[in-house]
Chain A
């Protein structure tokens, strides 16, 4: 099983600041089989980034993804109030599909 470790566990920032979230895989993941999701309180997760760096439909360009191999990054260039949520990384390169434990982005 590919274990995804996200860090930091919690990130405390203010609106307008830049956020950098990391996800490390226990084994190499094909970039096209890597995604990021956002989950706001009481809501279902929402796809943000697929293929490690492609924004999903309707996702603002302040969100960007990068990385390859075992290290992937989600960057939010300038935080808006609605960005404070939990973010999960996902790999579907090998079964079972796994998610990271999440990074909570707090004000």
Chain B
């Protein structure tokens, strides 16, 4: 059983929004947090933010503040990341990854399989 399964690839126009889901299984969803990390083609890893599935506390990377919203739905054990005002440089694989429920400061394990978001004009 794969612990984190993400939604499928998306193609969006510049200026649009995208919402990626991450469904958890095999563990108590509300005992952990979920981080979101992105990876542009051929590039490294960039942290987007963290949400506690227990408390709803959120920490965003300042770079994405105002443009991203993280949410969770405990009834379906699913976390969501919505990114708005998409630009071409938002084209990346977006990963969810499990971590602590009480602080963003924790290692990430396991990771979802990734969702490719392609932004074009």
Contact = CB atoms under 8 A, between A and B. Distances in A.
Nearest to B6: A44
A97 B99 CA distance: 13
Interface stretch (B23-31, B44-52, B68-76, B84-92): B44-52
Contact of A99 (B44, B104, B110): B44
Most buried by A among B45, B104, B113: B45
A88 interface: yes
Give chain B's interface secondary structure class: loop
Interface in A69-107: 88, 90, 92-93, 95-102
B59 interface: yes
Given A44-B112, A96-B63, A33 B105 contact: yes
Given A33-B105, A92-B104, A92-B105, A99 B47 contact: yes
Closest 9 CB pairs of A and B: A47-B109, A44-B111, A97-B47, A99-B45, A96-B61, A50-B107, A35-B107, A92-B105, A101-B44
25 contacts: A33-B105, A37-B45, A44-B111, A44-B112, A45-B45, A45-B111, A46-B111, A47-B107, A47-B108, A50-B107, A90-B45, A90-B108, A92-B105, A92-B106, A92-B107, A95-B59, A96-B47, A96-B62, A96-B63, A97-B35, A97-B105, A98-B47, A99-B46, A99-B47, A102-B44
Interface of A: 33, 35, 37, 44-47, 50-51, 56, 88, 90, 92-93, 95-102
